[in-house]
């Protein structure tokens, strides 16, 4: 029996791509993947994920990776969940080896609905199991999560070669925020590698615009607030 797993990496960051990986593995190879230590990518170090990448691929019957860059994410018509469903379907339909069962890491609050939305758009028949934390429960999804995460990590490393320290690309990362603020101060806009529809950018823009306004020298004949207070 052929089993598929599908997962994404980089749904939440403000910088760089979202990567989606769909993998197909013969059920006989699942124990070997387990022995290799294939588990949820978030529980592995970047070095460990890199080492596992080629070993996983050598055990797969087929796999597909999509890299979705900010421009594509920003120009989506629906919600991020709908965008994810659309691209999960695209990845699964691109597989040359069609699976009998598909394990999906569900992005929707309602797991079953996420699975149904994907199932009805597939161009082949398969049993679908969509669950939260599937990357922690099902080896095919763990394998897909590692492939997706390594793909995104590599993309971020390439961006660092061009832009310097950009952090992880997540809005909560102080290095990412510092990079975005410094870049905006220097260029008056954000680099083309950011997701412009993310609220983080609007907040940074507002903060820096206020900062720029308060630093502007007063017009002739007009006292600055500081000088006014000294009087």
CATH number for the domain harbouring residue 52: 3.30.420.10
213 is an annotated ligand-binding site residue? no
Question: Could you read off the pLDDT of 17-38 as tens digits, one per residue?
Answer: 999 999 999 999 999 999 998 9
d(CA 27, CA 3): 6
Is residue 222's pLDDT more than 80? no
Question: CB count, 10 Å around CB of 164?
Answer: 10
Average pLDDT over the chain, rounded to an integer: 91
**174 and 128 within one domain:** no
With CA atoms as reference, report the closest residue to 139 among 46, 27, 57.
Answer: 27
7 is an annotated ligand-binding site residue? yes
pTM exceeding 0.85: yes
DSSP conformational letter for 186: H
Quick one: 193 exposed, middle or buried, by C-beta within 10 A (0-12, 13-18, 19+)?
Answer: buried
Domain presence at residue 226: no
Is residue 220's pLDDT more than 90? no
Helical segments of 60-138, H only? 70-74, 80-93, 111-119, 134-137
Question: CB count, 10 Å around CB of 104?
Answer: 27
Domain presence at residue 222: no
Domain presence at residue 224: no
Backbone φ and ψ of 146, nearest 5°: -70, -45
**154 and 40 within one domain:** yes
Helical segments of 66-198, H only? 70-74, 80-93, 111-119, 134-137, 139-163, 174-187
**88 and 22 within one domain:** yes
Total domain count for the chain? 2
Cα angle 191, 77, 148; round to 5? 60
User: Residues near 227 by Cβ (< 8 Å), separated by ≥ 6?
Assistant: 218
Backbone φ and ψ of 150, nearest 5°: -65, -40
d(CA 136, CA 126): 22
**26 and 126 within one domain:** yes
In the three-class reduction of DSSP (H, G, I as helix; E, B as strand; rest coil), residue 48 is classed as helix
Taking only Cα atoms into account, the Rg of the chain, rounded to an integer number of angstroms, comes to 22
**177 and 116 within one domain:** no
**172 and 78 within one domain:** no
**118 and 183 within one domain:** no
Kindly state the percentage of the chain with pLDDT values over 70: 91
Q: Over range 65-70, report the average pLDDT.
A: 98
Domain presence at residue 44: yes
Domain presence at residue 228: no
pLDDT number for residue 226: 56
d(CA 94, CA 89): 8
Domain of residue 118, residue span: 2-159
Domain presence at residue 225: no
The CATH number assigned to the domain holding 193 equals 1.10.10.460
27 is an annotated ligand-binding site residue? no
Domain presence at residue 207: yes
**118 and 7 within one domain:** yes
**126 and 28 within one domain:** yes
């Amino acid at each position: 029996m052929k089993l598929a797993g599908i997962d994404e990496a980089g749904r939440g960051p403000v910088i760089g791509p979202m990567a989606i990986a769909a993998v197909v593995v013969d059920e006989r190879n699942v124990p070997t993947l387990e022995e290799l230590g294939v588990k949820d990518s978030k529980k592995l170090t970047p070095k460990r994920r890199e080492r596992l990448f080629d070993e996983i691929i050598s055990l797969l019957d087929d796999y597909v990776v999509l890299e979705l860059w900010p421009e594509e994410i920003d120009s989506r018509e629906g919600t991020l969940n709908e965008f994810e469903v659309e691209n999960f379907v695209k990845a699964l339909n691109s597989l040359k080896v069609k699976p009998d069962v598909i394990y999906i890491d569900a992005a929707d609050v309602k797991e079953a609905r996420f699975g149904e939305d994907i199932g009805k758009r597939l161009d082949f028949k398969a049993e679908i199991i969509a669950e939260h934390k599937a990357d922690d429960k099902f080896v095919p999804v763990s394998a897909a999560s590692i492939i997706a995460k390594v793909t995104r990590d590599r993309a971020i490393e390439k961006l660092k070669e061009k832009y310097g320290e950009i952090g992880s690309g997540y809005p909560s990362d102080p290095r990412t925020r510092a990079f975005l603020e410094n870049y905006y101060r220097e260029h008056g806009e954000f680099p083309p590698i950011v997701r412009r529809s993310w609220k983080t950018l609007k907040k940074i823009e507002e903060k820096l615009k206020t900062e720029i306004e308060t630093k502007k020298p007063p017009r002739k004949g007009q006292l600055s607030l500081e000088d006014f207070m000294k009087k």
